[in-house]
Structure 1
Amino acid sequence: MKKPFASPEKLREIAAEFGTPCHLYDASGMIRNLRRLQQAFAWNPGYKEFFAVKATPNPYLLQILRQEKAGTDCSSLTELIMSDRCGFKQEEIMFSSNDTPDEDFKLALKLNATINLDDISHLDTVLRLNGGQKLPEKMSCRFNPGGVFEVANGIMDNPGDAKYGMTREQIKQAYAAMRDLGVRRFGIHAFLVSNSTSNAYYPKLAKLLFELAVEIKAELGIELSFVNLSGGIGIPYRPEQEACDIEAIGAAVKAAYDSVLLPSGLGSLSIYTELGRYIMGPYGGLLTRVQYLKDTYKLYAGVDACAADLMRPAMYGAYHHITVVGKEAWPADHIYDVTGGLCENNDKFAVDRPLPLIDTGDLLFIHDTGAHGYSMGYNYNGKLRHQELLLQQDGSVRRIRRNETPRDYFATLDFSGLFEDLSEYGC
Structure 2
Amino acid sequence: MPMSKDYKSRLFPSAEKIAQHYGTPFHIYDEKGIRETTSKLKKAFAGIKGFKEFYAVKALPNPSILKIMHEEGFGMDCSSIAELALSRKIGSGPSDIMFTSNNTSPEDFEAALSNGGCILNLDDITLVEKTPKMPELICFRYNPGERRTGNSIIGNPIEAKYGVAHHQIIDAYKLAMEKGAKRFGIHTMLASNERDYTYMVETARMLLNLVEEIGSALGIKFEFTNIGGGLGIPYRPEDNDLDLDSMGKEITALFNEFKEKHGYAPALFMESGRYMTGPHGVLVTRAINKKEIYRRYVGVDACMSSLMRPGMYGSYHHIDVLGKEDMPKTLVADVVGSLCENNDKFAVQRELPAIEDGDLLIIQDTGAHGHAMCFNYNGKLRPKELMLKQDGSVDMIRREETLDDLFATLNFTPDRLAL
| TM-score between both structures, scaled by the size of structure 2 | 0.94
1:271 correspondence with 2:249: no
1:124 is matched with 129
Q: 1:318 aligns with which of 315, 320, 340?
A: 315
Q: 1:398 aligns with which of 364, 378, 395?
A: 395
Shift of the 370–183 alpha-carbon distance from structure 1 to 2, 3 Å rule, reads same
Check the 8 A contact 2:45/2:248 in 1, yes or no: yes
2:81 is matched with 77
What is the one-letter code of the residue matched to 1:178? A
Shift of the 371–270 alpha-carbon distance from structure 1 to 2, 3 Å rule, reads same
CA RMSD of aligned residues (A): 1.8
2:376 is matched with 379
Q: Distance in 2 between matches of 1:64 and 1:191?
A: 24
What is the one-letter code of the residue matched to 1:53? V
Q: Distance in 2 between matches of 1:150 and 1:410?
A: 45
1:210 is matched with 208
Q: Distance in 1 between matches of 2:200 and 2:412?
A: 52
Check the 8 A contact 1:210/1:261 in 2, yes or no: no
Shift of the 155–292 alpha-carbon distance from structure 1 to 2, 3 Å rule, reads closer
- CA apart distance, 1:266: 3.2
Q: 2:94 aligns with which of 90, 93, 100?
A: 90
Q: Distance in 2 between matches of 1:156 and 1:318?
A: 14
- CA apart distance, 1:274: 0.4
1:113 correspondence with 2:111: no
Q: 1:56 aligns with which of 55, 60, 80?
A: 60
1:143 is matched with 142
Q: 2:408 aligns with which of 403, 408, 411?
A: 411
- CA apart distance, 1:260: 3.7
Check the 8 A contact 1:200/1:249 in 2, yes or no: yes
Shift of the 30–212 alpha-carbon distance from structure 1 to 2, 3 Å rule, reads same
What is the one-letter code of the residue matched to 1:113? C
What are the superposed Cα offsets for residues 214-243 of structure 1, whole Å, 9 maximum, x if unpaired? 111111111111000110111111110001
1:424 is matched with none
Q: Distance in 2 between matches of 1:23 and 1:53?
A: 17
Check the 8 A contact 1:23/1:387 in 2, yes or no: yes
- CA apart distance, 1:58: 0.3
Check the 8 A contact 2:154/2:192 in 1, yes or no: no
1:241 is matched with 239
- CA apart distance, 1:164: 0.5
| Matched pairs, number | 409
Check the 8 A contact 1:150/1:156 in 2, yes or no: no
List runs of 5+ in structure 2 lacking aligned partners. Answer: 415-419
What are the superposed Cα offsets for residues 122-170 of structure 1, whole Å, 9 maximum, x if unpaired? 11111xx22xxxx10111000000027359x999841111110011221
Q: Distance in 2 between matches of 1:355 and 1:265?
A: 59
* Helix, strand or coil at the partner of 1:411: helix
Check the 8 A contact 1:149/1:157 in 2, yes or no: no
- CA apart distance, 1:261: 4.6
What is the one-letter code of the residue matched to 1:25? Y
* Helix, strand or coil at the partner of 1:24: strand
Check the 8 A contact 1:186/1:224 in 2, yes or no: yes
List runs of 5+ in structure 1 lacking aligned partners. Answer: 418-427
2:292 is matched with 295
- CA apart distance, 1:416: 7.6
- CA apart distance, 1:3: 4.8
Q: Distance in 2 between matches of 1:416 and 1:136?
A: 39
2:335 is matched with 338
Q: 1:17 aligns with which of 15, 18, 21?
A: 21
* Helix, strand or coil at the partner of 1:236: coil
Q: 2:260 aligns with which of 242, 262, 272?
A: 262
1:305 correspondence with 2:298: no
Q: Distance in 1 between matches of 2:206 and 2:152?
A: 17
What is the one-letter code of the residue matched to 1:215? E
What is the one-letter code of the residue matched to 1:60? S
* Helix, strand or coil at the partner of 2:396: strand
What is the one-letter code of the residue matched to 2:361? L
Q: Distance in 2 between matches of 1:154 and 1:259?
A: 30
Check the 8 A contact 2:2/2:235 in 1, yes or no: no
Check the 8 A contact 1:342/1:381 in 2, yes or no: yes
- CA apart distance, 1:59: 0.4
What are the superposed Cα offsets for residues 11-50 of structure 1, whole Å, 9 maximum, x if unpaired? 1111111110000000000010011001101111201100
What is the one-letter code of the residue matched to 1:63? K
- CA apart distance, 1:248: 0.9
- How many percent identity over aligned positions? 47
- CA apart distance, 1:180: 2.0
2:46 is matched with 42
1:173 is matched with 171
What is the one-letter code of the residue matched to 1:77? I
Shift of the 154–336 alpha-carbon distance from structure 1 to 2, 3 Å rule, reads closer
Shift of the 255–204 alpha-carbon distance from structure 1 to 2, 3 Å rule, reads same
| TM-score between both structures, scaled by the size of structure 1 | 0.93
- CA apart distance, 1:259: 2.8
What is the one-letter code of the residue matched to 1:146? G
Shift of the 308–121 alpha-carbon distance from structure 1 to 2, 3 Å rule, reads same
Check the 8 A contact 2:234/2:241 in 1, yes or no: yes
